[in-house]
């Protein structure tokens, strides 16, 4: 179905809430710059592994710090949390950044724009959005500080010359694990990647709807294949 003005965000979100983590992983993989270099089989394997690592790390960190509050964990990890006003860039909306070694920046505009809509406010609170974002960035901090987390060093062969292989690092496993981490940490019932659609809605409903269609396509294809 093509986009029209009668489409409600609540209906989209309801449908997306049922989407499994692997389908969200495929959506995340579709943004990886080396996505064409990975077979579908390897993608699924990497996604499942990243999801498991994210979940395990969230449980470990909650147990170690005695808290699953992302702000509290950030405080213990001596991270600075800042906010910055940022506008939409064409075709791209930044939600949060992690600047090495210790600065998490949450972009205030996507949050405030999203929450200015009654539709979004009924679905999610500002605190929930912030916690999901902070949790996501905390995973990247942990990834940097704990080499045992292997999600940021998954290589793929880009090209070969005279028998020498040139490799590149996939970004998607790290992002998928970060989403899995913050989902588990925040005991969220849906994938944090749903924010891509919810927060985009405040800028461009049609683009947001197109993102939704992409996710649903991965979900339906996955169900057909019975992953």
Partner 1 sequence: MSIVIGIILIVSIILLAIYCIKGYNLMVGMAIMATLFTVLALIGNIFTPNASMAGQSIQDVLTYVYQTGPANWSSSILVYIFFGAFFGRVLIETGIASTLIRKTVELGGDRPGLTMTLLSIITAVIFTSMTGAGPVISIGIIVLPILLSLGISVPVALFSFMGSIMAGMHGNILLFNQFIAMFVSLRPEAAEYTYQMNFPFGITCFFIALVIVNIVANVALRKSKKVRTWAAVSSDAGQTNAPWYSWIAVILPVVGVMAFNIPIILGFLIASLYALITCGKIKGGFVNVTRMLQKQFTDGAIDTAPLIGFLLILAMFNNSAVYVAPYFQALFGNLIPDNPFVLCLVFGLISLLGYFRGPMSLVGCGAAILAIFLSAETVLPVAFLYPLFSCVTLTVQHLDMTQSWVAWGIGYTKVDTKQFMKIAIPTGYVISIICCLLVYFMRGSLVA
* Least gap, CB of 95 to partner 1 (angstroms): 5
* Least gap, CB of 99 to partner 1 (angstroms): 5
Integer Cα distance of 136 and 176 in angstroms: 9
23, 38, 211, 219: which one contacts partner 1 (CB under 8 A)? Answer: 211
168, 205, 216, 222: which one contacts partner 1 (CB under 8 A)? Answer: 168
22, 111, 133, 177: which one contacts partner 1 (CB under 8 A)? Answer: 133
Among 7-15, 16-24, 52-60, 197-205, the segment contacting partner 1 (CB under 8 A)? 197-205
By the rule CB under 8 A, 33 interacts with partner 1: yes
By the rule CB under 8 A, 214 interacts with partner 1: yes
Integer Cα distance of 29 and 179 in angstroms: 13
Scanning residues 67 to 126, which ones bind partner 1 (CB under 8 A)? 84, 86-87, 89-101
Residue with tokens 């579908």: 40
Task: Answer for the pair 222, 48: CB distance below 8 angstroms, yes or no.
Answer: no
Integer Cα distance of 125 and 178 in angstroms: 20
Integer Cα distance of 9 and 15 in angstroms: 10
DSSP assignment of 46-86 equals HHHHHHHHHHHHHHHHHHHHT---HHHHHHHTT-EEEEE--
Task: Answer for the pair 104, 134: CB distance below 8 angstroms, yes or no.
Answer: yes
Interacting residues toward partner 1 by CB under 8 A:
30-31, 33-34, 37, 84, 86-87, 89-101, 133, 136-137, 140, 158-159, 166-169, 171, 175, 178, 195-197, 199-200, 204, 207, 210-211, 214
């Amino acid at each position: 179905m093509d986009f029209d003005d009668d489409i409600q965000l609540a209906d989209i979100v309801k449908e997306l809430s049922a989407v499994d983590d692997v389908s969200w992983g495929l959506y995340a993989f579709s943004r990886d710059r080396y996505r064409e270099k990975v077979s579908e089989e390897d993608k699924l394997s990497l996604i499942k592994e990243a999801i498991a690592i994210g979940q395990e790390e969230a449980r470990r960190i909650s147990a170690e710090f005695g808290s699953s509050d992302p702000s509290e964990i950030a405080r213990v990890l001596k991270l600075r949390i800042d906010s910055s006003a940022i506008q939409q860039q064409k075709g791209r909306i930044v939600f949060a950044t992690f600047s090495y070694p210790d600065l998490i920046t949450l972009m205030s505009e996507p949050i405030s724009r999203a929450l200015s809509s009654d539709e979004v406010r009924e679905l999610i609170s500002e605190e929930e959005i912030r916690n999901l974002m902070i949790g996501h960035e905390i995973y990247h901090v942990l990834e940097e500080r704990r080499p045992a987390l292997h999600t940021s060093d998954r290589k793929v062969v880009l090209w070969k010359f005279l028998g020498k292989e040139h490799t590149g690092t996939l970004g998607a496993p790290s992002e998928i694990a970060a989403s899995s981490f913050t989902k588990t940490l925040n005991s969220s019932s849906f994938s944090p990647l749903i924010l891509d659609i919810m927060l985009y809605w405040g800028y461009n409903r049609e683009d947001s709807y197109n993102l939704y269609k992409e996710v649903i396509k991965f979900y339906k294809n996955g169900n057909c294949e019975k992953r």
